[in-house]
Amino acid sequence: MAAMTDEDKIGQLLVAVVYGGRADSARKENQARYGVDTPAEVVEKYRPGGVILFNWADNVSDAKQVAALTTGLRKASDTPLMIGVDQENGIVSRLSPLITELPGALAIGSTGDPGNARDSARVTGEELKALGISVDFAPVADVNINPRNPVIGPRAYGSDPQKVAAMVGAAVDGFHDAGVATVAKHFPGHGDTAVDSHTGLPVIKHSMAQWEKLDAPPFREAIKRGVDAIMTAHVVMPKLDPSGDPATLSHKILTGLLRDKLGFDGVVTTDALDMAGVRKKYGDAEVAVRSILAGADVLLMPPDYPTAYKALLKAVETGRITEQRLDESVLRILRLKKARGVFGPIETDPGALKSSEHLKVAKRLKAAARSAA
């Protein structure tokens, strides 16, 4: 890390969206966002710490194509590149139908057997790894205690905090069995909302005691199992932080609660910064800086990447973000990458998808979920 410039370090904090199915795909969306044509050129120009893949960005068409894309992106990067995806299974499945189809979290949770959560995560992780993907932004650690929740619902393992905690812990183990980094989300809890943070800013009025009982158990269990990263929620919890800022921008929540109280020293990533919930109070440049000052390490999908990059660089140059604070985040990110093999050679094997063993696991899990319904 000693040889890294400030520009190198700031790049590590950012996860970009790129458009196209090949590293050399020229797309107008890349030109509009980044001033270059291809995914490879985005990586070469901005040296991001990571890239996240999406169907809507035309990153996903078939297994060989995804494997070639991840390989091409890594070749374009002069630092180890973390490639991630939201593959929760169920209703959030960015890689369907390429990979083994598994039940969603609620169906798995209904079986009452944490071993099923572990098996599901292992199968998913092994197939992601075969595609050159090193991090899954899963599992959902929210406890879905509000039946009107428009954004979590069946993405959660259920409505009982202790049962959800057992499932989340098992899922973390399963991803680690596969050698893939795992991200518990959305801290400090998105389960008791009636507003979607993609389109608005939810307010959750839990007291600290209620939070400890209802929201905290799955995150505590994930931390106990060595979860690699925790994703923030764009929700306001006024009894945890009266400032009115969403948790993503709250030092009291990310540093005071997550780091100090829960003892988490892994990577903290924001939820996507293009969501409305985090953009209501501050401009995009200020959101980027405040996220880091609050305690985040990784900024996921800033809506204006060059603006976020320049804002962070200026904040470091002026001392608003100290070199020590910057180095803390970079060290955590590099430590995660080393732990999950991102520094070494990454071999893809698209033929490993939908193996007979994986299909047998899927069949068993679907049968268990049907029996529990």
**171-225: per-residue pLDDT in tens?**
999 999 999 999 999 999 999 998 888 888 889 999 999 999 999 999 999 999 9
Show the CA angle centred on residue 165, arms to residues 161 and 168, nearest 5°: 135
Residue closest to 140 by CA, chosen among 154, 150, 130, 127? 154
For the chain, the average pLDDT equals 97
Predicted pLDDT of residue 199: 85
Phi-psi sector, 49: left (phi>0), alpha (psi -120 to 50), beta: alpha
Q: What is the pLDDT of residue 240?
A: 98
Residue 313 has pLDDT above 90, yes or no: yes
Tokens of 81: 């590149």
Lowest-confidence segment of 219-233, 271-285, 327-341 by average pLDDT: 271-285
What positions carry a catalytic annotation?
198, 271
On the question of pLDDT at 163 being above 90, the answer is: yes
How many angstroms from the chain centroid is the CA of residue 140?
10
For residues 229 and 190, is the Cβ–Cβ distance under 8 A? no
Say if residues 164 and 111 touch (Cβ distance below 8 Å): no
Task: Give the list of residues 6+ apart from residue 331 with CB closer than 8 angstroms, or none.
Answer: 1
For residue 188, whether the previous peptide bond is cis, meaning omega lies within 30 degrees of 0, is: yes
Q: Over the stretch 244-262, which tens digit does the pLDDT of each residue have?
A: 999 999 999 999 999 999 9
pTM: 0.97
Share of the chain above pLDDT 70, in %: 100
Residue type, 319: G
Q: How many CB atoms lie within 10 A of CB 281?
A: 15
Please report the pLDDT score of residue 106 as a whole number.
98
Note the pLDDT of residue 197. 81
Q: Is the dihedral of CA 62, 64, 68, 70 positive or negative?
A: positive
Domains and their CATH numbers in the chain: 6-366 (3.20.20.300)
Beta strands, E only, the chain: 14-16, 50-52, 82-85, 87-89, 92-93, 135-136, 181-187, 229-232, 267-269, 299-300
